[in-house]
Chains A and B, each alone.
Chain A
Amino acid sequence: MPYDYQEFPYVTPPPLRGMTEGRKPAVIVGAGPIGLALAVDLALRGVPSVVLDDNNVVSVGSRAICWAKRSLEILDRLGVAERMVAKGVTWKIGRTRHRDEEVFRFDLLPEDGHKMPAFINLQQYYVEQYLVERSRDFPDLIDLRFRNRVTAVERFEDHAVATVETPEGAYRIEADWLLACDGAGSPIRRMMGLDFAGELFEERFLIADIVMKADFPSERWFWFEPTFHPGQSALLHKQPDDIYRIDLQLGWDADPEEEKKPERVIPRIEKVVEGRPFTLDWVSVYTFQCRRLERFTHGRVVFVGDSAHVVSPFGARGGNGGLQDVDNLGWKLAAVLKGEAGAALIESYDAERRHGADENILNSTRATKFMTPAPGIERTFRDAVLALASRAPFARGMVNSGRLSLPCAYPPSPFLGPDESALPAGTAPGRPCPDAPVGNGWLLGRLGGGFTLLGLDCAPPEIEGAASLRLDAEGWLRRRYLGEAASAVYLIRPDQHIAARWLAPEAEDCATALAAAKGL
């Protein structure tokens, strides 16, 4: 059943009611998943924010649908992931076919012992709805202003000012930090005249949500050159509410307006679903790009999510990458606003998340070149891989229909370390904490909102500014965090990334690493 779009109420903002507003610590532009998640993250840290959005409904069409394990872990910290998992379609098997033959199959979660599944499919509108509802849990901290469109931004050394248009007129709002979460077409990026460098791929895809009662399994299906769509690619994903998402490659010459017409779309989809009855819910045509801003921080204006970087959709790295931005920025912003860290910490957001964006862009560009090769040698090698895939196992791994989003490990920096090489590689500084069962719950649930000094089979030192947590290392926890070692201490950041680790540190070692992680 298609989604029932509810309008969020427009409320006259205080300045248009004759009230004077002081400078706000955080003004978030854009109430998409990224802006809303950031508002909730800040609220959980006690930081108030104003969220401005030019619209008053959740996103139309499924848009971002694949939420990866790390994103779900972040959203669990924010309090919406259990609802998402309950509603979403959980999947871990992906099948890739060339013509009518399966050439590659992947299973995303070969390892047990995680609270969250590898991936769920859930339409972006549900995620936005859940985050809006979650925001309402913080009436004193989150001020959602719908139909409030930012038309100008002025930057100053220690603040920024936005001009905001509403149905009742315009007003100005001052912010210590202005967070541009205004999407791939970011008006703020344009207003500031910032270059968005990268590659535009000369390829068009049709995207459609259809409503269909069918017994397709909960898997991701990708076709290269299917017989139902010769020479092109196709992708099928199952979503909740009997909605399926279909992406069909059209070629660069396709006219987007023509292709969106039902009389063109329906016959194509009929071929994909082999004549099963369906109705069309939403259709769009997209091109894709892999680009990013040279810098994500511009004084007191910080770009988060698609406004900072865009990737092709294959690999689910857009929304998932953006949530990792939020995860990385939320605690840093809160620490700087509370005076617990220097502004240099915000620069570490820039460095760490540019690294993350580059990783996503690299993977996404490679997948795109494979899926839509340029005529000539790119096409020749792509076809060579596909021709070999059914006959030689090595070639199956080279079939690239999108390398699905994995959490980014931050590179060595003055904010991270020291490391202890006797401990497992998967929990080195910079990496996100892998989850593990602990008692009746999970490790990630045991980490609080701040820094944690985790002692595994030993008492961690007590230091100011970090909560000490001692756990008995059994099962997955031992395997993932100790390996062969008898005991260890981990310093874990508020974004659940590992900052440093030791076998047996002194309190002073931990305090030094904590100060470094805060940019002090």
Chain B
Amino acid sequence: MAALVTAPNLPDHDGFYAELLAAHKGLTEAESAAMNARLVLILANHVGDREALREALALARKAGG
């Protein structure tokens, strides 16, 4: 792992976590899945680094067991 930042990097992570949950509030499971998909695309474009994204995909998949 080189391109992906896995060390703490997000100011007020508790605040972000709360915002993330709040953004999904009132959505069905399917609507939440759709919203997450949009979010992934938006963030991927913001990151803009294919290697970092590749590492992020691998980490996310691996962490799922």
Residues of A within 8 A of B (CB): 377, 380-381, 383-385, 387-388, 392, 394-395, 398
Contacts and interface: CB of A to CB of B under 8 A. Distances in A.
Contacts of B40: 381, 384
A380 B37 contact: yes
Interface residues of B, number: 8
B37 A395 contact: no
5 contacts: A380-B33, A383-B34, A384-B34, A388-B41, A395-B41
**The 3 A-B residue pairs with the shortest CB-CB distance in the complex, in nearest-first order:** A384-B37, A394-B45, A384-B38
B42 interface: yes
Contacts of A385: 41
Nearest to A384: B37
Nearest to B34: A380
Contact of B37 (A381, A392, A394): A381
Nearest to B44: A394
Contacts of B42: 388, 392
Given A381-B41, A388-B38, 10 more contacts: A377-B37, A381-B37, A381-B40, A383-B34, A383-B37, A384-B34, A384-B41, A385-B41, A388-B42, A394-B41
Interface of B: 33-34, 37-38, 40-42, 45
Nearest to B48: A394
A388 B45 CA distance: 12
Nearest to B30: A380
Contacts, number: 28
Contacts of A380: 33-34, 37
Contacts of A384: 34, 37-38, 40-41
Nearest to B45: A394
Main secondary structure of the interface of A (DSSP, over half): helix
A388 B33 CA distance: 15
B41 to A, nearest CB: 6
Contacts of B37: 377, 380-381, 383-384
A377 B40 CA distance: 13
A394 B42 CA distance: 8
Contacts of A381: 37, 40-41
Contacts of A377: 33, 37
A385 B45 CA distance: 12
A388 B38 CA distance: 7
Contacts of B34: 380, 383-384, 387
B45 to A, nearest CB: 4
A398 B41 contact: yes
A394 B41 CA distance: 9
A382 to B, nearest CB: 9
Contact of A387 (B33, B38, B45): B38
Contacts of A394: 41, 45
A388 B46 CA distance: 14
Contacts of B41: 381, 384-385, 388, 394-395, 398
B42 to A, nearest CB: 7
Nearest to B46: A394
Nearest to A392: B42
Contacts of A392: 42, 45
Nearest to B33: A380
Contacts of B38: 384, 387-388
A394 B38 CA distance: 12
A380 B37 CA distance: 7
Contacts of A395: 41, 45
A384 B33 CA distance: 10
A235 B41 CA distance: 26
A381 B45 CA distance: 14
B19 to A, nearest CB: 19
Nearest to A380: B37
Contacts of A387: 34, 38
B55 to A, nearest CB: 20
A380 B39 CA distance: 12
Contacts of B45: 392, 394-395
A383 to B, nearest CB: 6
Contacts of A383: 34, 37
Contacts of A388: 38, 41-42
